[in-house]
């Protein structure tokens, strides 16, 4: 046999099994080897198709072994390329932190007037001051309370802004904080006073948890990865949100709201939910909600905290 003849692919009576890639051909050859089936791997010089050649009497058993292997490993993907925006952390979250710091400084400068007219008072809300559900999100009892929420929120919203856009993160976070205060209004023993951005921060954590559902756009079989992401986010909420000394009801309400809204955006086709116009619109709505509620508080609010010496929840 000369050199030219030795380079020719195996000829009949060998049987052919086609593979989609070199990696798949290598994997299948290992499967066949584990079953005692000899296989020769070859790439067609013209088409580039990878093939395995086996003895004709082993062809049926080889195909059956490969079929079982594929069924057993269906849906598993040890490595997956995730689609993310251009940044992993958005430093716009610093602006949110500075706004909280500025409001707390102004509140102290005017003798806690903002707290009196903007904190979540169950009695004031019952009188019709619904805007307190939102204004209370930007108020804090003391520097320690502010520092804890700002530090945690910087990380949470830095990631959420990078994933969803700054506008969407702020709008959903503000709605989640409002929903958390509404949950406290419904379920807390009355009367009570509530304030703080922790419900909003938990809403940001809920957003990051719900965003795992975007994997459905890559593969409808990514259920294991989605469940893992949801479970991880829930465990983080248990770790940071269920401190008995904090307002657990507001935390839970914020987390659930952020989870649902974040999941809803994650299920929107990727090209739609990342449009700059939609993100700017969401940011504008968040700014309008913030400004309108505080305007109502300043113009129409009454000094609930000055009139009632009630325990505060945050």
Residues noted as catalytic: 198, 251
Give per-residue burial for 63-79: e unless 16+ CB within 10 Å, then b.
eebbeebeeeeeeeeee
User: What is the helix (H) or strand (E) element at residue 120, kind and residue range?
Assistant: strand 120-121
**Could you tell me which residues are beta bridge partners of residue 165?**
none
Question: How does DSSP assign 210-279, residue by residue?
Answer: HGGGGGGGT-TTTHHHHHHHHHHHHHHHHHHH--TTS-HHHHHHHHHHHHHHHHHHHTS-HHHHT-HHHH
Residue of 102, 219, 199 whose CA lies nearest to 152? 199
Alpha helices in 7-57 (DSSP H): 22-34
Cα gap 55→12, rounded to integer Å: 9
Beta-carbon contacts of residue 266 (< 8 Å; ≥ 6 apart): 210, 211, 212, 213, 214, 273
Secondary structure letter of residue 190 according to DSSP = S
Six-digit token string for 220: 């409808």
Residue of 190, 164, 115 whose CA lies nearest to 286? 164
User: What is the helix (H) or strand (E) element at residue 40, kind and residue range?
Assistant: strand 40-43
Q: Please state, as a whole number, how many other Cβ atoms lie within 10 Å of the Cβ of residue 226.
A: 16
């Amino acid at each position: 046999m000369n050199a030219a003849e030795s380079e020719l692919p195996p000829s009949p009576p060998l049987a052919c099994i086609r593979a989609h890639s070199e990696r798949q051909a290598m994997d299948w050859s290992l499967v066949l080897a584990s079953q005692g089936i000899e296989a020769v791997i070859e790439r067609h010089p013209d088409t580039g198709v990878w093939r395995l050649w086996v003895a004709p009497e082993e062809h049926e058993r080889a195909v059956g072994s490969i079929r079982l292997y594929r069924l057993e490993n269906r849906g598993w993907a040890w490595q997956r390329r995730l689609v993310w925006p251009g940044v992993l952390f958005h430093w716009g979250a610093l602006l949110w932190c500075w706004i909280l710091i500025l409001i707390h400084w102004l509140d102290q400068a005017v003798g806690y007037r903002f707290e009196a007219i903007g904190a979540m008072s169950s009695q004031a809300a019952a009188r019709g001051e619904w805007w307190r559900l939102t204004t209370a999100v930007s108020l804090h009892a003391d520097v320690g309370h502010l520092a804890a929420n700002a530090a945690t929120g910087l990380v949470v919203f830095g990631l959420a802004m990078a994933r969803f856009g700054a506008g969407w993160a702020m709008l959903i976070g503000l709605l989640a904080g409002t929903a958390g205060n509404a949950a406290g209004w419904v379920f807390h023993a009355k009367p009570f006073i509530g304030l703080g951005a922790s419900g909003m921060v938990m809403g940001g954590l809920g957003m990051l948890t719900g965003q795992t559902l975007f994997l459905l756009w890559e593969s409808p079989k990514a259920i294991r990865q989605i469940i893992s992401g949801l479970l991880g986010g829930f465990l983080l909420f248990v770790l940071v949100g269920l401190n008995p000394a904090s307002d657990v009801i507001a935390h839970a309400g914020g987390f659930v709201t952020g989870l649902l809204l974040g999941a809803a955006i994650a299920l929107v086709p990727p090209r739609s939910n990342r449009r700059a116009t939609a993100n700017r619109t969401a940011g504008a709505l968040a700014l309008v909600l913030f400004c309108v509620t505080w305007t109502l508080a300043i113009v129409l609010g009454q000094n609930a905290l000055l009139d009632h010496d009630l325990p505060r929840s945050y």
